[in-house]
Amino acid sequence: MNHDERSGLLYLLAGIGLGVLIGAVLGLLFAPKSGEELRGELSQRIHDLSEKVRELAQQAYEKGGETVRNVRERVSRRAAGEEVAPEEA
């Protein structure tokens, strides 16, 4: 995964997170609930969303690290004169 792909993934995740957050806030604001209930539910949804975004960011970070390790290994193998299969390149 190159830098542009990672940036695109991060923008996608941020856009999805922002869209979900806006939708949740609007849904809660138009729901017939008391202020205290609304604030509690909004707080819980924001917490849940932040946890989900944190999990997705961790997965993206791990995938990026895995990709970097794979590329380094292939470069090292090529530098050592080993053949690298086209599907590995």
Structure confidence by residue, pLDDT tens digits, 6-37: 677 778 888 888 888 888 888 777 777 777 88
- pTM score, two decimals? 0.50
Structure confidence by residue, pLDDT tens digits, 52-71: 888 888 888 888 888 888 88
Of 43, 11, 52, 51, which Cα lies nearest the Cα of 24? 43
Q: Coil, strand, or helix at residue 20?
A: helix
Domain boundary assignment for the chain: 3-81
* pLDDT (0 to 100) of residue 41: 82
* pLDDT (0 to 100) of residue 86: 67
Q: How far is CA 72 from CA 28, 31, 58, 69, 75, in A?
A: 48, 53, 21, 5, 5
* pLDDT (0 to 100) of residue 43: 86
CB 48 within 8 A of CB 41: no
Q: How far is CA 6 from CA 22, 33, 85, 87, in A?
A: 24, 41, 25, 21
